[in-house]
């Protein structure tokens, strides 16, 4: 596939306030390379999610400011260095260390848009005191993104403790009936905590963009 065959949405930042993200899992290194070069020529920030270490190595040296974020499995080009303090802060929480890849994807996506973000790891319900010990810190953020696998109860509990928007991200982590994140997804959708927002399984990027929309509307 040649560069001319790609129809990129380079007006998305102007129209929606967010850059076009590229889903890299099912694209070849050559396709990703062509897309990033075109975004670079358009003066746009490049964000590619679901990138393997092998693909990242293939793309080394493609552009001077190309950066691979191994924890998040993301590639970025032209990531802004300055934060927009007027947007406020987002805190991304993970129930356990196994959820960190999805949480880190949300973190990188927010940083691409100049959002101040903090990643808070291992505050799941198996040790509830860890979450409670951070409540005062959490209340200072504008939006919270809670990533959890297993039964996925972290976003529900969090939504019952703090007033700001909570976005739940079910993660495909857990034994047997966890069903690759399906149990966490259904648990979050069935939550009794009013106002909890839920995105698709492992969709850290989608949660980040939901948070960005909220921040821009405040």
Neighbour count for residue 91 (Cβ, 10 Å): 24
pLDDT over 90 (residue 19): no
Q: Would you identify the CATH topology of the domain 85-217?
A: Rossmann fold (3.40.50)
Q: How confident is the model at residue 1 (pLDDT cuts 50, 70, 90)?
A: very low
pLDDT digits (tens, 9 = 90+) for 117-133: 999 999 888 888 999 99
Q: Is the pLDDT of residue 17 over 80?
A: no
- pLDDT tens-place string over residues 43-79: 788 899 999 999 999 988 888 788 899 999 999 987 6
**Looking at residues 93-99, what average pLDDT do you find?**
92
CB contact at 8 A, 55 and 24? yes
pLDDT on residue 11: 67
Burial of 142 (0-12, 13-18, 19+ CB in 10 A): middle
- pLDDT score for 100: 94
Sequence-ordered strand ranges (E) for 9-165: 21-23, 46-49, 66-69, 74-77, 89-94, 116-120, 143-148
User: Which pLDDT score is estimated for 64?
Assistant: 78
The whole-chain average pLDDT of the chain stands at 89
When pLDDT is cut at 50, 70 and 90, the band that residue 3 belongs to is very low
Report domain extents, the chain. Answer: 3-77, 85-217
CA gyration radius for the chain?
18
Tell me which H or E stretch contains 215: helix 204-217
Beta strand 66-69 pairing with 46-49 = unpaired
Other CB atoms within a 10 A radius of the CB of residue 210 amount to 20
Among 103-107, 109-113, 196-200, the minimum mean pLDDT is found in 109-113
Q: Kindly report the backbone phi and psi dihedral angles of residue 169, in degrees, each rounded to the nearest multiple of 5, phi listed first.
A: -120, 105
Provide the pLDDT confidence category of residue 212 given band limits of 50, 70 and 90.
very high
Q: Which of 79-83, 127-131, 154-158 has the lowest mean pLDDT?
A: 79-83
Better-scored residue on pLDDT, 180 or 82 = 180
The two structure tokens encoding residue 119: 């990643």
Closest to 143 (Cα-Cα) out of 208, 192, 96, 47: 208
pLDDT for residue 36: 87
């Amino acid at each position: 596939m040649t560069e001319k065959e790609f129809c990129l949405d380079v007006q998305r930042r102007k129209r929606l306030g967010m850059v076009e993200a590229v889903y890299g899992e099912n694209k070849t290194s050559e396709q990703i390379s062509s897309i990033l070069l075109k975004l670079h020529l358009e003066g746009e920030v490049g964000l590619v999610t679901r990138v393997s270490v092998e693909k990242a190595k293939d793309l080394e040296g493609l552009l001077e400011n190309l950066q691979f974020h191994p924890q998040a499995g993301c590639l970025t080009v032209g990531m802004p260095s300055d934060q927009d303090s007027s947007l406020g802060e987002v805190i991304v929480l993970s129930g356990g260390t196994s959820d960190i890849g999805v949480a880190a994807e949300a973190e990188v996506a927010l940083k691409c848009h100049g959002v101040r973000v903090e990643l808070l790891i291992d505050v799941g319900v198996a040790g509830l005191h860890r979450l409670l010990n951070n409540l005062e810190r959490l209340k200072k953020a504008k939006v919270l993104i809670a990533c959890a696998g297993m039964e996925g109860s972290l976003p529900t509990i969090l939504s019952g403790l703090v007033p700001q928007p909570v976005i739940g991200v079910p993660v495909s982590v857990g034994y047997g009936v966890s069903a690759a994140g399906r149990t966490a997804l259904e648990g979050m959708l069935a939550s009794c905590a009013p106002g909890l927002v839920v995105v698709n399984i492992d969709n850290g990027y989608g949660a980040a963009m939901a948070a960005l929309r909220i921040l821009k509307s405040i």
